[in-house]
């Protein structure tokens, strides 16, 4: 009851006129920041951080958290309407969101994203409120072996993303791992895979550049190729009645993906340095794996939108937990928020819940309020986003190209990234032309930089003994499940080819 009383006080504080105004403005600004390719929540929060010095510290972090929430919602907009991920957290949304838009069901995809985001955020808020200290201690118990086991489990679900063509899926994963290894070795510091001694490769492959190249430029080239240059317009209509029908369809076909994303996303989000991107990608893989019709994923299934969108919103709340309770940022955006808190004279950690009760519960209360307003504002703007899809492709293609180039350049402001963007775009087109799945490669380049160092750190801890992954109480069961999932396709193949 004490928690409910504190939460009630926090929600009253967040509904004060100044804080409520900041929440509405923050969510709206974040929605459009998230929709702009190349920006995302990190850049949005960092750019607007100086403005917050005009208001009290409690109101300031409520404003920045609202931007974070809005950006998580907004990332799906360009993924659906243009096929360009607004941020790395929305890459998995493109897998099914864009096919739905091309089928004239953009409204369904956007409604699915909004509803799943709301449910994921709500579940995460409840878990955050009820189990903050306990979950913080669980996150601390995850060492390198546990994190590697979790990454291996994610790779095990990748096999399902390639349909029945397992060899092509494995090759796609290996390509992603090669791209992830480019740059300086995280352990020894030695340069690796610096192709033709080009200095641009020293900083590694920026994931956002790869994602925009594959799903922005590559999608544009594929559309031009598949339509043979004909002028095309995506059919999309929207009305209040249609939104209500879409919500009911999401409830029928997307509930499983929403549930998976809500819980898995939050769990991955609380792990230090993991963030929302791995959570959304893993949730998509798991949702497809447990679906009764996995073949529909990648072709326009609402569950393929619900799973990553519920996960990235849930993970964004989860990432706040280690920041507030331990002083350890769970994502790049929460690292910026942590810096802001330090500037305002607030010290994150276990004592924060005791010494700054009003601040902490005001922030937690704002999570609930921001989540509601993010849903309402997102649904209100859906007609505007649908209107964008009615433009002829002769106008849309140059717009996609310009936004892709701007988004790729904005990340690091390096012209080398623009050339990579074009290479990845044409490479994605040829891979798609020869029926190679793109999703596993994109997913592998996200998790590769996490899996490799944790594998090597684990083996250093055990003096090279791989049994460390199986003897620890958390990593052991995860490893066993991952190995079973990896061997399932082989068992299926042997069963199908068994002589009668």
Q: What is the pLDDT of residues 3-58, one digit of tens each?
A: 778 788 888 888 888 889 999 999 988 888 887 776 667 777 777 777 777 788 78
Token pair of 236, please?
């999309």
Token pair of 39, please?
């920006």
Question: What is the per-residue pLDDT for 162?
Answer: 47
Q: Alpha-carbon distance 477 to 451, whole Å? A: 17
Question: What is the per-residue pLDDT for 163?
Answer: 53
pLDDT digits 0-9 by tens, 360-383: 888 888 888 988 898 888 888 877
**pLDDT over 90 at 238, yes or no:** no
pLDDT digits 0-9 by tens, 456-474: 999 999 998 999 999 998 8
Nearest to 217 by CA among 418, 443, 442, 439: 418
DSSP state of 215: I
SS3 assignment, position 191: strand
**pLDDT over 70 at 389, yes or no:** no
Nearest to 31 by CA among 397, 388, 380: 380
When mean pLDDT is compared over 108-122, 156-170, 477-491, the highest value belongs to: 108-122
Q: The whole model's pTM is what?
A: 0.78
Token pair of 58, please?
């409690």
Least confident of 161-165, 392-396, 445-449, 458-462: 161-165
**pLDDT over 60 at 436, yes or no:** yes
Contact 380, 25 (CB under 8 A): no
DSSP state of 499: -
Residue count (the chain): 500
pLDDT category of residue 135 using cuts at 50, 70 and 90 = low
**pLDDT over 80 at 451, yes or no:** yes
Domain range list for the chain? 2-496
Question: What is the per-residue pLDDT for 434?
Answer: 86
Token pair of 376, please?
């309402």
pLDDT category of residue 337 using cuts at 50, 70 and 90 = confident
- The dihedral over CA atoms of 14, 19, 24, 25, expressed in degrees to the nearest 10, equals -150
Query: CA-based angle 71:77:82, to the nearest 5?
Result: 135
**pLDDT over 90 at 259, yes or no:** yes
Token pair of 157, please?
């679900």
The percent of residues above 90 in pLDDT, for the chain, comes to: 11
Q: Alpha-carbon distance 472 to 149, whole Å? A: 11
Of 240 and 489, the structure prediction assigns the larger pLDDT to 489
Q: Alpha-carbon distance 322 to 350, whole Å? A: 10
């Amino acid at each position: 009851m004490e928690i409910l009383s504190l939460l009630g006080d926090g929600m009253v504080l967040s509904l004060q006129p100044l804080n409520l105004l900041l929440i509405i403005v923050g969510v709206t600004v974040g929605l459009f920041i998230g929709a702009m390719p190349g920006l995302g929540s990190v850049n949005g929060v960092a750019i607007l951080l100086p403005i917050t010095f005009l208001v009290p510290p409690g109101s300031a972090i409520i404003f920045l958290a609202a931007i974070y929430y809005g950006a998580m919602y907004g990332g799906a907009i360009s993924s659906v309407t243009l096929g360009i991920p607004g941020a790395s957290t929305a890459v998995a949304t493109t897998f099914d969101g864009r096919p739905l838009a091309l089928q004239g069901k953009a409204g369904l995809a956007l409604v699915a994203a909004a509803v799943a985001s709301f449910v994921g955020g709500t579940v995460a808020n409840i878990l955050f409120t009820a189990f903050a200290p306990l979950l913080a201690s669980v996150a601390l118990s995850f060492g390198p072996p546990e994190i590697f086991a979790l990454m291996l489990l994610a790779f095990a679900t990748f096999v399902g993303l390639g349909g029945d063509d397992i060899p092509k899926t494995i090759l796609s994963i290996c390509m992603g791992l090669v791209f992830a290894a480019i740059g300086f070795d995280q352990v020894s510091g030695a340069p690796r895979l610096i192709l033709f001694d080009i200095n641009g490769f020293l900083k590694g492959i920026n994931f956002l550049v790869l994602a925009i190249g594959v799903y922005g430029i590559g999608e544009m080239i594929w559309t031009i190729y598949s339509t043979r240059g004909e002028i095309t317009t995506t059919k999309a209509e929207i009305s209040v009645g249609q939104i209500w029908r879409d919500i009911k369809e999401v409830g029928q076909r997307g509930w499983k993906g929403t549930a998976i994303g809500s819980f898995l996303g939050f769990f991955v989000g609380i792990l230090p340095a993991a963030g929302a991107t791995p959570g959304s990608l893993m949730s998509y893989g798991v949702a497809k794996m447990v679906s009764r019709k996995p073949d529909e994923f990648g072709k326009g299934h609402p569950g393929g939108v619900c799973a990553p969108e519920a996960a990235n919103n849930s993970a964004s709340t989860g990432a706040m937990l280690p920041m507030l309770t331990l002083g350890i940022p769970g994502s790049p955006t929460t690292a910026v928020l942590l810096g802001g808190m330090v500037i305002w004279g607030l010290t994150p950690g276990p004592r924060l819940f005791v010494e700054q009760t009003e601040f902490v519960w005001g922030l937690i209360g704002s999570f609930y309020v921001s989540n509601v307003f993010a849903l309402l504002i997102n649904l209100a703007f859906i007609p505007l986003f649908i209107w964008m899809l009615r433009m002829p492709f002769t106008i849309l293609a140059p717009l996609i190209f310009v936004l892709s180039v701007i988004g790729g350049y904005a990340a690091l402001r390096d012209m080398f990234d623009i050339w990579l963007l074009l290479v990845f775009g044409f490479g994605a087109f040829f891979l798609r032309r020869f029926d190679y799945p793109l999703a596993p490669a994109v997913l592998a380049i996200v998790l590769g930089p996490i899996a490799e160092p944790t594998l090597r750190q684990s083996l250093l801890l055990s003096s090279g003994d791989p049994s460390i992954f199986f003897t620890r109480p958390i990593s052991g069961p995860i490893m066993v499940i991952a190995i079973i999932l990896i061997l399932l396709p082989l068992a299926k193949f042997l069963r199908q080819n068994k002589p009668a």
